[in-house]
Amino acid sequence: MGNMSETILERYAVTKSIIGKRGFGVLFRTVFIPLLFITCAFILWYVSLPQINPGNMNDLGLVSVLPATYFAALGVLAISYIVNIHQKYSNDYILLVHILLLIFIIHGTPQIVYGTLRYAWAWKHVGIVDYIQRNGSVNPTITDLNAYHNWPGFFALVAMYNTVAGLASSLSYAGWGPVFFNLIDLGALLVLFKTLTNDRRLVWLSVWIFYLFSWIGQDYFSPQAFAYFLYMVTIIIVLKWFRRQPAMAQADTQRGIRSSKLYKLYSTITNHPIPDDQGVSQTNVRQRLFFILALIMIFTVIASSHQLTPLMLISALALLVIFQVTNQRFLPILMAAITTIWIIFMAVGFLDGNLYWIVKSIGSLLDNVNGNFINLAIASPGQQFIAKIDRLLSAAIWILGFVGLYRRYRAGKWDYIAILLAIAPVPMVLLNSYGGEMIFRVYMFSLPFVAFLAGSIIYPRLDAGMSLKAPIFATVLSFIVIPGFLISYYGKERMNYFSPNEVAAAQVIFNIAPKGSLIMDGVYGWPRQYTHYEDYNYQYISLLPVDQINNILKNPARQLPYYMETAAPGSVFVTPNQTSPETEPNLPGVQGKADYTAAYLVITRSQIAQAEMTGSLPADWATTIENSLSKSPNFRVVYSNQDAVIYQYIDLGEP
């Protein structure tokens, strides 16, 4: 406590003397000019918003409709931010305002411009909250969206909030999820980087790099975004209050076996002072007890909210223990125990239907890696280009990270904590492909630490980066990365965006369809399952084998009734002759004639966009189906607008 007061007093004295000597000049450079730039960037962004028409997006997504003023806003912000980092007496609050504006420009723009919730999975998440809000419970054995009922932490919390706040649904605010999660992540990132270095320039530059490379898009209204924040809080607590003092680490290592080469490598890594070691707090018994209790609660919530984050955390904690960053050996064991208990006792409903493919994919490195990438052979040209930019950005940050690490090492700073946390998620690729997303999740969990290492290129030590070269390099890098980031992050917006017309169609179908109806679509990308989702059966044509899709498209009016009558309730498209577990992981065993109360086919603009972008259905699928159904007495249009059409199937016996 005494030290803290002294530090504050010293800082106050230094600031007073600077202001006294330099007076208005310092204030002008560090506050007024940056504020002018920030205001300029804000105005440029603000005037951009009315010019953006999401309905005109092409295959490159939102970037294709952004006006020049939008890019100018980011350019002005980048220059101002980097110059301010480089300033000797820059103001932390001013830097913070830059980042806040960056978050709103990048993540707030879609919500402001669209006015509707973007991303199909966000609608499903709203649907799970809606389920809990109405039922006050979960159904772990439910067939559809089963995983969410087995890891319901995030959804239960939101359902509780909705009810006490008098909100009928999360739809009114879920679109702001990316802004919210990036804001709370910002706090965590600042603290995290402060534990790794005492160079504030490096802290702020690492934050900037993080946001410019965070193109994965897992920051929406989702349990993974929620658990990601808690992951960072856990790492902060461990590094801040449970970090082993370097001297203790050395003493412990000396007790180990000295003969093996492995030991020499190990001691090289661990017997090294932690660079810029400002982060280790002296703790008292009360603090340690408090934070152990906090960690137990955080572990429990992470284990019960998301499937993947606990594994990432176990890996990170294990590495921190093995390499003596912390001496709390029980931490990874405790996290593993809580996770195991949750899976065995609480998530058994999920394991029943999914264990076979989880076990099958363990260790299948090549299959898991390949399963993560989109099939470029069938994707649209725009998506092929975007996929290449994605890969380029991912490779670039890792290369920058390696170069930064080398620069720090040459400067006498061995950042093994950042390295351990950057590589901790990598072994997860061995486990499974996680529905084709594992490699992206690995990237996401590594990113803060790789961004920190990348920032070290410019500021490897406190007395480095003083010349003009540093801000020039950082600005040039930002100007190269920003367009790439925007292409990657906004690249799928044509299918992520749902126009008010599409939302209106979704509202209609859930108003008119009686309980027990079948709701069929081409692909899943439309605002479905957001309300009373358990009352309906959902199927999408693109999940069928190619020969069956082709068969349907030869004569949709004749073929579709067969699928609308025989699919299994609650499953994903099951026919009497098609029961392959690869395509029906949740196959409930119900086959044959289905007794739906009604059957509908929904076709929307976003579905057409998704099918075209991913190549999951032939180019003319929607037109073919619409032309055929419009002539059939078995189908009638119950609703249509510019962006959506709903057909109802009328069973007339033989079609």
Partner 1 sequence: MSNKLAWPIAISVAALLAGIFALIKSGGFLGSAIIFLFMLVIPGLAYTRLVHIGDFLLEIVVAVGISLVLGTILAEGMVFLHIWSPNAGLGVLIGISLIGAFLQTMQGRSPIRESEL
**Would you count residue 301 as binding partner 1 (CB under 8 A)?**
yes
Using the minimum distance from each CB to partner 1, give the nearer residue, 230 or 274: 230
User: Which residue in the set 286, 381, 435, 631 belongs to the binding site for partner 1 (CB under 8 A)?
Assistant: 286
Residue 98 in contact with partner 1, rule: CB under 8 A = no
**CA–CA dist 54, 585 (Å, integer):** 36
Residue choice 166, 381, 435, 653 for contact with partner 1 (CB under 8 A) = 166
**Do the beta carbons of residue 173 and residue 111 sit within 8 Å?**
no
| Interface segment toward partner 1; rule CB under 8 A; list 196-204, 291-299, 306-314, 365-373 | 291-299
Could you give phi then psi for residue 121, rounded to 5 degrees?
Answer: -70, -30
Spatial separation of the C-alpha atoms in residues 636 and 605, rounded to whole Å: 19
- Min dist CB 294 to partner 1, Å, is 6
Q: Give the total residue count for the chain.
A: 655
Q: Which two three-digit tokens encode residue 71?
A: 């890019």
When binding is defined by CB under 8 A, the residue of 214, 305, 307, 628 that contacts partner 1 is: 305
**Interaction between residue 285 and partner 1 (CB under 8 A):** yes
Q: How far is the CB of 349 from partner 1 (least distance, A)?
A: 12
Q: Closest distance between partner 1 and the C-beta of residue 297, in Å?
A: 5
Q: For residues 192-221, which are near partner 1 according to CB under 8 A?
A: 194
Token code pair at residue 609: 């966009």
- How far apart are alpha carbons 531 and 520 in whole angstroms? 16
C-alpha gyration radius of the chain: 27
Name which of 176 and 409 has its Cβ closer to partner 1.
176
Residue appearing with tokens 């990657």:
488
> Could you say which of 229, 385, 440, 473 contacts partner 1 (CB under 8 A)?
229
| Residue 345 engages partner 1 in binding (rule: CB under 8 A) | no
Annotate 300-310 with b (16+ C-beta within 10 A) or e (fewer): bbbbbbbbbbb
403 makes contact with partner 1 (CB under 8 A): no
247 touching partner 1, by CB under 8 A? no
Residues facing 604 on adjacent strands: 644
- Can residue 236 be called a binding residue for partner 1 (CB under 8 A)? yes
* Binding track, positions 133-162, relative to partner 1; x by CB under 8 A: --xxxx-------------xxx-xx-xxx-
Nearer to partner 1, 54 or 178 (CB): 178
Which residues, in sequence order, are CB contacts of 310 under 8 Å at separation 6+?
299, 302, 303, 335, 338, 339, 342
3-state secondary structure (DSSP) of residue 501: helix
Q: Applying CB under 8 A, which part among 114-122, 183-191, 324-332, 540-548 lies near partner 1?
A: 183-191
Please report, as residue ranges, which positions from 311 to 340 form the binding site for partner 1 (by CB under 8 A). none
Query: What's the CA gap between 613 and 383, in Å, rounded?
Result: 6
Residue 539: enclosing H or E segment and its boundaries? strand 537-540
Q: Tell me how far apart the alpha carbons of residues 568 and 591 are, in angstroms, rounded to a whole number.
A: 5
Minimum CB distance to partner 1 smaller for 83 or for 343? 343
**Structural contact between residues 321 and 315, judged by C-beta atoms closer than 8 angstroms:** no
Label the pairing between strands 635-641 and 644-649.
Answer: antiparallel
Q: Report the amino acid identity of residue 45.
A: W
**577 lies in the site for partner 1, by CB under 8 A:** no
598 binds partner 1 (CB under 8 A): no
Question: In the complex, what is the shortest distance from the CB of residue 46 to partner 1, in angstroms, rounded to a whole number?
Answer: 21
Interface with partner 1, residue 164, by CB under 8 A: yes
- Distance, CA of 262 to CA of 271 (rounded, Å): 14
- In the list 128, 298, 314, 397, the residue contacting partner 1 (rule: CB under 8 A) is 298
- The DSSP annotation for 171-236 comes to TTTGGGHHHHHHHHHHHHHHHHHHHH-S-HHHHHHHHHHHHHH--S---SSSHHHHHHHHHHHHHH
Task: Determine if 165 is a binding residue for partner 1 (CB under 8 A).
Answer: yes
Give the binding site for partner 1 (CB under 8 A).
Answer: 1-2, 4, 132, 135-138, 152-154, 156-157, 159-161, 163-167, 173, 184, 187-188, 190-191, 194, 226, 229-230, 233, 236-237, 240, 281-282, 284-287, 290-291, 294, 297-298, 300-301, 304-305, 346
